[in-house]
Structure 1
Amino acid sequence: MHDFPEAPTPAFLFDLDGTLIDSVYQHVVAWRQALSGMGIDLSVWRIHRRIGMSGGLFVSALLRETGLKLTREQIDELQTHHADAYEQQVHSVKPLPGATELLGELTARGVPWAICTSGYARTARLALGMLDLPEDTPMVTRDLVRRAKPDPDLFLAGAALVRVDPAHAMVVGDSVWDLLAARRAGALGIGLLSGGYGRDELERAGAFRVYADPADMLDRLDELGVRQSD
């Protein structure tokens, strides 16, 4: 009888906005408000397509579309204005269906997980209370890594935080930027439709499974190798 090594327990690295909390459109409005405050008029749909990227890349991509140039100081100011505008709307942000239950179920089954977000701690940590999570919840924010999505740094740091090999982790995200970063980190990608991207877009970016929202994923955990005995 062969003594084969035991398969590792799967681990999950979650994006935050549009994946665990229903905040994508609040961020879109906050970015539009911040941009308008600096005299930059952009359509909402153009902003939405960039949500999930690091703030710096986000601004660079949008400015490229307008042909405008901003200094590093102005880009930093723009990101501060975005955070201010988002905080004014945070009261309207709610957990996505099944998000709290999904994280609770993974914890109950002993499955490691962390939250990895391109948002800065100032706004991202507001989500912990919404999700009924303690302050010491494993979370990697933009402040803690050199580069955010679509670079893999956030997910590599998240895997290290919960002490798993990225190759044994699954990244759960709602945008193509999450899935590109997952591929670069060497992790499997799971797409959620709750951020506004379509199934085809998520699959083309590398999602091997796509679910409607966290509740749908919770109902199908067996498809991801999460067993009751885990």
Structure 2
Amino acid sequence: MELNADFTRRVAVHAAHLPWVPSPVIGIERRMLDRIGAEVARATSIVRYAAESRFNAHTHGGGEEFMVLDGVFSDEHGDFPSGSYVRNPPGSTHTPGSQQGCTIFVKLRQFDSEDRTVVRIDTGKLEFLAVPTRPGVHLMPLHADAHEDVRIERWARDAAIEWVVDGGIELLVLDGSFEEGGERFTPQSWLRLPPGASLHATAGAYGCRVWVKTGHLARLG
């Protein structure tokens, strides 16, 4: 299966308007954003766990990165409430599920093969950096290495975001809204721009918070 697999093109998906697609496990559904492969795939998805649903134990050969959007995600490493950001590197094993139900944004099999960094952050316990990184933009760092930079950005109301993204960019709206390319992006909207593209966006009247990843798409070129 290939979905939005041309990484040289702009892709926008307003996932909140997509139907939920059942996974092989009862009670776990997904909205697919990009995908190369069948059940074992390089994939970016929004996944919803019903209460008391759980996958069997498995190993992530290519790593797993996720952000909890609502509810509480759990595995043998702990309980991760809404706002948690987790990186499970290649070779890591866990048994994921949710007692009360949750929704996560997840990226699979997209790590550098040598990456062994484990990250577990509850962003609800962090503050944005006091000094804006660009006009109208405050930053909450999550992870950075030689290949990519991951963070949450808070865009002030009506902020104009102008940015040449040399290594490509992905954005997922966590709350609020912005406009780009004549489209309005709201929670669960996802935008991917290829290396060398220019981002021209305007935050909505109430601003927005966005999960942002940059640099990683350069490796696909």
Q: TM-score, normalised by structure 2?
A: 0.25
Which gives a bigger RCO, structure 1 or 2 (Cα 8 Å, sep 6+)? 1
The structure with more helix, counted as a fraction of residues: 1
